[in-house]
Amino acid sequence: MQVFKRGIRKSKVLPTKQAAKDWAARTEWELENSEAVASAQPFGEIMDRYAREVSPLKRGHRWEFVRLEKLQRDSLAKIRMGDLRASDLADWRDRRLSEVSAGSVRREMTLLGAVLTQAAREWGLIKESPLKDVRKPAQPKARDRLPTNEEFERLALVAGDDLSHATARAYHAFRFACETAMRAGEIVGLRREDIDLENRVCRLHMTKNGSAREVPLSTAAVELLRMLPDLDPVFGLNSQQIDVLWRKVRTKAVIEGLNFHDSRAYALTKLSRKVDVMTLAKISGHRDLSILLNTYYREGAADIARRLD
């Protein structure tokens, strides 16, 4: 049985003809009246529905869930859907810019845009997203923070070299990331069966962009893996542990402004001196080459000239 109303198509298989008729009648009424019902709903309820029904289907669901939960405490969430205007979202944007970075606001706007698009296209609750008329803050300048040799030494001293301790393995994971450009989430999910030391390859089954990829291992990366105790997952850490322990090590080492993710920039900067940008994209999993060219591919004209000899 199929129902098409107000530009929305729904279908369902039911056991009997009467059940199908009942479902069709109820669905048509819901579609016909959904906008009127939704207009009285606070925006926060729509966020909550998105967090429950849509976010769990995504790899980054934990970030979305936490962020939407916080957004539901903002005054923006109390506005009824029927009253929500671009000016309300612009006011929220300006308030957030006084609290967090432009990059954070852009990410939150992308999330709110996804919620409103879902409400319009899939749920038929509004005609269109009012966020489309709201300007995003300017793209912030890319981070240019790489760990120094001195910082590596201080981190190593604080973490220790006994890899039976989780703290030492957290720093070990950072060093591994500096060799492979793998993300923290990819590293903690690495299992023994995913590693081929003979061919020096790690196989990642699910990455941030939702696709699998193979990561080549340098000699140093292979050695780092061989040093680890017999654990599975290989580093014996989960995402929360590696985040907490890394911050602990960094604080004790009195290092400011260095994130775990900066290891990815360090690795890609180093690799960019050895491989072309297409190969670099294959290693990193980037689909947008402009990110690599503008952020990680730091080779200067003089460096390129030397390679032309």
Residue positions annotated with a catalytic role = 183, 208, 286, 296
* CA angle, 28 then 117 then 25, to 5°: 5
Residue type for position 293: L
What amino acid is encoded at 143 in this protein? R
Q: Radius of gyration of the chain from Cα atoms?
A: 24
Name 5's bridge partners.
8
What are the DSSP E strand ranges found in the chain? 2-5, 8-11, 195-196, 201-204, 213-216
CB atoms under 10 Å from CB of 62, counted, come to 14
On whether the CB atoms of residues 3 and 124 are closer than 8 A, the answer is: no
First to last CA, the chain: 69
How many CB atoms within 10 Å of residue 44?
Answer: 19
Q: Can you tell me the distance from the alpha carbon of 56 to that of 238, in angstroms, rounded to the nearest whole number? A: 19
Find the farthest-apart pair of alpha carbons in the chain and give their distance in angstroms, rounded. Answer: 80
Tokens of 122: 């899939």
